[in-house]
Structure formats: C-alpha cells, structure tokens
C-alpha cells in the first residue's frame, strides 16, 4: 500500500507540475508516476545487475528481477490477463536490417534477440540517478548534450532503458489504481515500449536552473528551447519520435522530450523526409 500511496502522491504532483515527461499523456509507461524519488518523478531505476537485462527472448516469458532504489522485487511477466504478451509470438531481428531502425511500438514487440546485437551501458544524470542506455546511443547523446550546452541548455536523461518487468510493474500499479481502461489508454503493454530498446531517451531541458516543461494542453515555458533542441537532434543521430499531430500514426501524443537514436545517416534522412519512423519504414497502420 505504501507504494500505491506514493504513486498517488507522485501522480498528483506530476499532474500538477507537468514537468518534462510528467504529462498526463506521457508515452508508453506513465514513467513520470513510476518514480522512486521525490525530486525527479520520471526516473526508473536501472537494474543493478545484468541478470535483469533482456539477454534473449526469454525475457518476455520468464521471471525477471529488477532492482529499484532500495528494494529488489521479482515480477512475473507472463500471467497478467490484461496484457497480450503471453499470446504474442516474440519476433526476431531480420538479419539484413539496420538494428538501429528497429521499430517497437504498440503493434511491434521488442525482438527477442535484440540484446544479442546491441549492448547497454550505464550513465548518471545530474541528480546522480543511474540509467541504462545502449552504448552508441549514449555516446551520441553526450555529443548532443555538449551541443546544447553551447546554447545555454542543460540536457539530462530522465528515463532511458526500461525492462519489460519494470513496465509490467507500472501496468500492474496503474491497473490497481485506475483500472484497465486507464492502462489501455495511457500505459504501454510490456514488451511494446520503445524504452525497452535502450535507444529511446526522455530528456529534460534546463535553462539557468529552470526545468522546461510542456503540458498536455500545449502550455510550455520553453517553446524556443524545445525547438532548438529538436533542430539539433538529427546531426547527432536522434529523431523526435512522437511529433505533433502524428499520434494517429505513432500511437502517442506529442512528446517534445522523447528522442530515439537511429544513427546519424538515418536520422538525417528521416528528419528531412518529415516522416515518422513508422512511415519511413513503411509500417504505418492504414
Ligand atoms: Zn519516453
């Protein structure tokens, strides 16, 4: 119950503050409300040991262990009737495709062998919170961060890799709090969050100590700074994954903070095309 009570408090504060990644229409995990810290309500703590990492397709079907700030919990990811993961066949990576273009969305599950190809590494943000990020993604994020610093913006990770087990925890907590309808509307089904790839980063922009926010109704204190941030993404290999007005294609409302690493050349092509990743890959739902 303590956890649930804490989530309610954090949920209320997130809804009130609507800081970056705290929007009510937040992507795929309601990550803002799954925080384990009061100061940053969007942090998912990274697993402390590699046993929690998705080394294979088994991560979708076997019990995983994740470590939170102070406690270790074990979550079975297979038996929740409210999700579809137990009945979906786990896809594999097409050998010929660029792994950095892997599509994970509400209809495309994380390939089971994804982390046979890519590796995660850790980093800490300005608050000392540790995150797991795919290695090449992190290297390019550091370059992006330096680029933004040159125009007076601090760019910080507030969420990155999220295990399927932690996504299941989020789902279970929210189903208990608000019901299945809420999860269906706002929470990504475990296995179908882009954050499972380690290629997605939720970034917080800070100017002169002020966190820039964007609210669900469009209210923001950083319109120009978000625009500057978005304009620098492609040259560092990132795309803005959930652009404005594309929620019918991506499945998610506008998220100015959620960026996705696809590689520099891919990012430049996608950015120039004006297409979403789904459209670029020819995978947009009709
Ligand atoms: Zn995100």
Question: How far is ligand 1, taken at its centre, from the CA of residue 71, in Å?
Answer: 24
What is the structure's pLDDT at 56? 35
What is the structure's pLDDT at 74? 36
SS3 content of the chain, % helix, strand, coil (to 5): 35, 15, 45
**66 pLDDT higher than 70:** no
Q: How many of the other CB atoms lie within 10 Å of CB of 180?
A: 13
Instruction: Give the CB-side neighbour count of residue 41, counting CA atoms within 13 A.
Output: 25
**pLDDT band of 50, cuts 50, 70, 90:** very low
What is the structure's pLDDT at 30? 38
- The conformation of residue 119, written as its DSSP 8-state character, comes to -
What is the structure's pLDDT at 27? 59
Q: 145 versus 183: which is more confidently predicted?
A: 145
What is the structure's pLDDT at 187? 84
Distance between CA atoms of residues 56 and 64, nearest Å? 12
Q: Give per-residue pLDDT as tens, 85-140.
A: 456 789 998 877 899 999 999 999 999 999 999 999 999 999 999 999 999 999 99
User: Taking the C-alpha atoms of 42, 174, 110 and 47 in order, what is their torsion angle to the nearest 10 degrees?
Assistant: 50
Q: Give per-residue pLDDT as tens, 185-203.
A: 778 899 999 999 999 999 9
Could you say which of 255, 265, 278, 285 is catalytic? Answer: 255
Residue 260: strand pairing partners: 200, 239
Q: Is the Cα dihedral 267, 270, 271, 276 positive or negative? A: negative
Distance between CA atoms of residues 193 and 250, nearest Å? 12
77-81, 101-105, 169-173: least confidently modelled range: 77-81
- Is residue 62 part of the annotated active site? The answer reads no
Question: How far is ligand 1, taken at its centre, from the CA of residue 259, in Å?
Answer: 7
The residue-averaged pLDDT of 47-52 equals 36
Question: How far is ligand 1, taken at its centre, from the CA of residue 239, in Å?
Answer: 12
Q: What is the mean pLDDT of the chain?
A: 77
φ/ψ of 166, rounded to 5, equals -70, -35
Question: How far is ligand 1, taken at its centre, from the CA of residue 28, in Å?
Answer: 7
Angle between helices 135-149 and 223-233 (to 10 degrees): 130
The residue-averaged pLDDT of 221-234 equals 98
What is the structure's pLDDT at 87? 63
Q: Give per-residue pLDDT as tens, 258-272.
A: 999 999 999 999 999
Identify the residue whose tokens are 């980063």. Answer: 201
Question: How far is ligand 1, taken at its centre, from the CA of residue 195, in Å?
Answer: 6
For the stretch 112-120, contacts whose Cβ atoms lie closer than 8 Å and that sit 24 or more positions apart, written own/partner, are 112/56, 112/57, 112/58, 112/59, 112/60, 113/56, 113/57, 114/54, 114/196, 114/197, 115/53, 115/54, 115/55, 115/56, 116/55, 116/56, 117/93, 118/197, 118/198, 118/199, 120/53, 120/161, 120/198
Question: How far is ligand 1, taken at its centre, from the CA of residue 31, in Å?
Answer: 8
The DSSP H or E segment spanning 154 is strand 154-159
């Amino acid at each position: 119950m303590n956890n649930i009570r804490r989530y309610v408090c954090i949920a209320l504060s997130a809804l009130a503050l609507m800081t970056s990644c705290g929007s009510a229409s937040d992507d795929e995990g309601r990550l803002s409300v799954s925080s384990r810290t009061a100061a940053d309500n969007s942090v998912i703590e990274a697993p402390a040991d590699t046993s929690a990492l998705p080394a294979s397709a088994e991560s979708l079907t076997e019990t995983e262990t994740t470590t939170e700030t102070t406690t270790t919990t074990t979550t079975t990811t297979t038996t929740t009737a409210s999700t579809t993961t137990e009945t979906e066949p786990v896809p594999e990576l097409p050998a010929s495709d660029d792994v950095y273009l892997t599509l994970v969305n509400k209809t495309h599950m994380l390939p089971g062998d994804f982390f046979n190809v890519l590796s995660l590494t850790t980093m800490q943000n300005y608050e000392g919170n540790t995150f797991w990020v795919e290695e090449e993604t992190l290297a390019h994020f550091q370059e992006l961060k330096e680029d933004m610093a040159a125009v007076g913006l601090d760019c910080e990770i507030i969420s990155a890799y999220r295990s399927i087990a932690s996504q299941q925890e989020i789902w279970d907590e929210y189903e208990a709090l608000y019901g299945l309808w809420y999860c269906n509307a706002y929470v990504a089904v475990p296995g179908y969050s882009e954050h499972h790839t380690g290629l997605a980063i939720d970034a917080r922009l800070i100017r002169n100590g002020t966190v820039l926010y964007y609210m669900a109704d469009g209210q923001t204190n950083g319109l120009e700074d978000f625009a500057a941030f978005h304009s620098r993404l492609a040259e560092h290999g990132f795309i803005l994954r959930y652009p404005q007005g594309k929620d019918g294609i991506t499945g998610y409302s506008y998220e100015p903070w959620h960026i996705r690493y696809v590689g520099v050349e891919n990012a430049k092509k996608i950015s120039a095309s004006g297409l979403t990743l789904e459209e670029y890959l020819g995978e947009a739902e009709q």
